[in-house]
């Protein structure tokens, strides 16, 4: 379960940022997780709860903001949802796309 290593990295980074800001306690961490990032949000939340014990984030909650996958079709200049499993064929002009615009994010966007 690689979500545990991701949760540990989130906790370490959030702790660093909080300490740099002069705070020693964090109540929440918000992360954006793309649909194609290869991360299961429920598993990440569970791993976060396990990994936070004994840290400055022991009482913190993890807020996961899902990011849907979208591709862009250069042939017809339309953006479309890719879905899961991903399908990179434009529903507007029936051509393939290689331009993924969103869905691979895995980033901390907020610390409270």
**pLDDT band of 19, cuts 50, 70, 90:** confident
pLDDT digits (tens, 9 = 90+) for 53-97: 988 899 999 999 999 999 999 999 999 999 989 999 999 999 999
Residue 30 three-state SS:
strand
Q: Which residues pair with 32 in a beta bridge?
A: 65, 107
Cβ atoms of residues 15 and 108 within 8 Å: no
Kindly report the average pLDDT of the chain as a whole number.
95
Distance CA 81, CA 37 (A): 15
Q: What is the pTM of this model?
A: 0.88
Q: For the chain, what is the largest distance between any 2 Cα atoms, rounded to a whole number of angstroms? A: 54
């Amino acid at each position: 379960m690689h979500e545990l290593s991701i949760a540990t990295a989130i906790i370490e980074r959030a702790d660093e940022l909080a300490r740099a800001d002069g705070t020693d306690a964090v109540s929440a961490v918000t992360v954006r997780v793309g649909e194609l990032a290869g991360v299961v949000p429920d598993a990440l939340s569970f791993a976060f709860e396990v990994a936070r014990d004994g840290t400055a984030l022991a009482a913190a909650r993890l807020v996961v903001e899902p990011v849907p996958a979208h591709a862009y079709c250069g042939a017809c200049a339309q953006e479309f949802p890719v879905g899961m499993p991903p399908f990179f064929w434009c529903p507007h002009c029936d051509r393939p796309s290689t331009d993924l615009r969103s869905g691979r994010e895995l980033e901390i966007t907020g610390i409270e």
